[in-house]
Amino acid sequence: MPAISLLVLVGMAEVSIAQQPNQPSAQVQQSNMARIECSKNLRKTPSGMVVEKDILLVSPNQPNKYDLLSSKARLSDPQKKSLKDYLAEADKCDQLTIDALRGNVMLPPFEKGKIAKEVLYAKLLNGQVSIGEANIALEQLRVETLKETMDAVKANH
């Protein structure tokens, strides 16, 4: 198996893995770079700015991370609209990762984490959880997804 490194975003974490032999290196790297660029561009949109400022922890260096993690607030109607718009665009970024990981042992953990996040986003949108509760749960999901991804990579080597 070639020892070509690939960085894949798992939430806010980056995982370096050995490339699977059935995936061309350039294609995987190009898809990953497209995903990173997609995420950066999304954060610059009007909905992305609202989401990052008032709703979700999207970067480990976000200056308001503790406010977001401890917030007991529920989403307002304008925040719900911003989050829905943001998530619709984020799905396009996620699809870039899914396309890059086809046939890779990292795909099942990524898809499992994506489904769990979607359930959590639905709870946030319908008021079942606060902004802080959602962000804490999302951080826990990121850790779980990262662990499952690393376990899958290790098991395949």
53-73 confidence digits (pLDDT tens) = 999 999 888 999 999 999 999
- Average pLDDT of span 138-156: 92
Global model pTM greater than 0.95: no
DSSP code string of 57-93 = --STT-TTHHHHHH--PPPPHHHHHHHHHHHHHHHHH
Provide the pLDDT confidence category of residue 11 given band limits of 50, 70 and 90.
Answer: very low
User: Please, which residues bridge with residue 15 across strands?
Assistant: 8
Highest mean pLDDT out of 5-14, 23-32, 58-67, 132-141: 132-141
48 by Cβ neighbours in 10 Å (0-12 / 13-18 / 19+) ranks as buried
